[in-house]
Amino acid sequence: MTNQQNVVAVDVKSLGLRNLLPPVTKSLSPTELKMLFMKRFEAEKGDNKINGLVDSMRASSPTRIKSSSASIVHHPSALSMFEQIVGASKGKQIVMFLDYDGTLSPIVEDPDQAFMSTEMRAAVRDVARYFPTAIVTGRCRDKVYSFVKLPGLYYAGSHGMDIKGPSKRCKNKKANQGVLFQPASEFLPMIDEVYKALVEKTKSIGGAKVENNKFCVSVHFRRVDEKSWGALAEQVRSVLNQYPKLKLTQGRKVLEIRPTIKWDKGRALEFLLAALGYGNSNDVLPIYIGDDRTDEDAFKVLRDRGQGFGILVSKIPKETNASYTLQEPSEVKEFLRRLVDWKKICTRRRSSTLSCLDIYIDKKFEYHPPTCLIKEGGGI
Ligand SMILES: [Mg+2]
């Protein structure tokens, strides 16, 4: 055995990497050996990252619905707890925050086809008549506006990085039309560059769709065969490695590339509450409804503030900071409609000695309007 071989044997053992060595056909110097180890180590680290990402993609995209019982036990339905929710709003202004995909619209194969129904649009429009209402989404603000088409709302696109108040066409004089906030504007050229690189890198992966959301980029893999998720993750990682100022997050069958700034849907919620004059107020009850991991930031803000309620839209039990659940967009619509019905009764109760909640409950089970609310000719 030569001295060099002795040195090699000691290095391998001390690093504990003997099994990782490829078969070597020639003697290596200690430096060459260390470089070999490092190369192998970096490659394994990269593989682990990709594997971790694919595992995470699977975890956020469950293919089987188990049981909704845990969801009901741990996070009760916002519909069955409706009276408690509106009861907590006594003396407070309800402010509504609504995610879009999977909350107001069904999740569909093609993200460009995620239209909301006419009935849902009517429900959102009616809610916005009574309560300040914001759409908070990962989508580009213009894109989500093209789906929602309601000028009287606040829109927070790109995960809250692009916030705008109601348009001038909105007749609501109280609406804060001046709100416009873009905390990541310096990232615009970088995001555009990354979008183009991702389109190029993923074009060979069938079903992958890259969406430019202005301040972030989404890579949808809903239509990608699961066998190709690893290849997709690798391509996304390879692009992202060139941009240390960007980070990767995940939604439902979507990878999202965002600036590393500390801004998310939770911060957007706080910003909007402040813009509405409720920054440090106890006279507000924010309600945030969303279905995604990125909505958890907003649920957490509400939990930390001890104010308002987060409502998770999900058919399956999930770890969440939300207080309640709704199973799907149709239940969101029902919740919004009930909120409007309840508010209408509240505004009509002027001469009633009953609380609007009493009347609402009465209406829900068997509606007998109090005589003080009956107009001549019927109706209330
Ligand atoms: Mg969503």
CA distance 93 to 161: 25
How far, in Å, is the centroid of ligand 1 from the Cα of 28?
55
238 pLDDT above the threshold of 90: yes
For helices 296-305 and 265-275, the axis angle rounded to 10 degrees is: 50
Closest CA to 311 of 8, 99, 42, 63: 99
* CA angle (142, 144, 148) in 5-degree steps: 115
How far, in Å, is the centroid of ligand 1 from the Cα of 325?
14
365 pLDDT above the threshold of 50: no
Choice between 350 and 343, residue whose per-residue pLDDT is larger: 343
Report helix, strand or coil for 115.
Answer: coil
Residue-by-residue DSSP string for 262-322: S--HHHHHHHHHHHTT-TT-SSEEEEEEE-SGGGHHHHHHHHHHT-SEEEEE-SS----S-
Q: What pLDDT sits at residue 317?
A: 86
CA distance 68 to 299: 20
pTM here is 0.76
How far, in Å, is the centroid of ligand 1 from the Cα of 69?
22
For helices 329-348 and 356-366, the axis angle rounded to 10 degrees is: 130
How far, in Å, is the centroid of ligand 1 from the Cα of 197?
25
- Complete domains list, the chain, with CATH: 81-169+176-182+263-363 (3.40.50.1000), 186-259 (3.30.70.1020)
How far, in Å, is the centroid of ligand 1 from the Cα of 239?
25
How far, in Å, is the centroid of ligand 1 from the Cα of 368?
39
pLDDT category at 215 given cuts 50, 70, 90 is very high
pLDDT tens column, 110-152: 999 999 999 999 999 999 999 999 999 999 999 999 999 999 9
How far, in Å, is the centroid of ligand 1 from the Cα of 214?
17
Looking at residues 221-238, what average pLDDT do you find?
95
Instruction: Tell me which H or E stretch contains 228.
Output: none
| Lookup: tokens for 14 | 């001390």
How far, in Å, is the centroid of ligand 1 from the Cα of 180?
22
pLDDT category at 178 given cuts 50, 70, 90 is low
How far, in Å, is the centroid of ligand 1 from the Cα of 257?
16
Report helix, strand or coil for 168.
Answer: coil
Closest CA to 170 of 155, 188, 153, 186: 153
Per-residue CA distances from 304 to 262, 301, 307, 309 (Å) = 17, 5, 8, 11
Report helix, strand or coil for 106.
Answer: coil
How far, in Å, is the centroid of ligand 1 from the Cα of 102?
5
How far, in Å, is the centroid of ligand 1 from the Cα of 290?
6
Q: What pLDDT sits at residue 48?
A: 72
How far, in Å, is the centroid of ligand 1 from the Cα of 304?
22
